[in-house]
Amino acid sequence: MYPVNRNLPPARHATRPRVGLFFGEKRLIPPSVKRVIAFVDGQNLYHSVREAFGYTYPNYDVLALSTTVSQAEGWDLIKTHFYTGIPDSSDNPTWNRFWVSKLAVMGRQGVQVYSRPLRYRNKVVKLPDGTEHTYLSGEEKGIDVRIAIDLIRLAHSRAYDVALVFSQDQDLSEVADEIRVIATEQNRWIKMACAFPVSPTSRNKRGINRTDWIRIDKGTYDTCIDRRDYRKIDTP
On whether residue 235 sits in a domain, the answer given is: no
Residue 23 in domain: no
| Spatial distance between the Cα atoms of 16 and 188, rounded to a whole number of angstroms | 20
Calpha distance 212→193 (Å, rounded) = 4
- Look at residue 120 in the predicted model and tell me its pLDDT: 47
Buried b (16+ CB within 10 A) or exposed e, 74-96: ebebebbbbbbbbbeeeeeeebb
- Least-confidence region, from 77-86, 89-98, 145-154: 89-98
Assigned domain for 3 exists:
no
Q: Which residues contact 122 (CB under 8 A, 6 or more apart)?
A: 134, 135, 136, 137
| Average per-residue pLDDT for the chain | 85
- pLDDT value of residue 127: 59
When divided into structural domains, the chain yields a total of 1
191-214 residue pLDDT tens = 999 999 999 999 999 999 999 999
pTM of the predicted protein model = 0.82
What's the CATH code of the domain at 88? 3.40.50.1010
- Residue 232 located in a structural domain: no
Domain membership flag for residue 70: yes
Is 229 inside a domain boundary? no
Q: 153-181 burial by CB neighbour count: b if 16+ within 10 A, else e? A: ebbeeeebbbbbbbbbbeebbebbebbbe
Backbone angles phi, psi at 196, to 5 degrees: -155, 150
Domain-embedded: residue 156: yes
Instruction: Please give the residue range of the domain that contains residue 175.
Output: 12-16+32-222
Is the pLDDT confidence value at 20 over 70? Answer: no
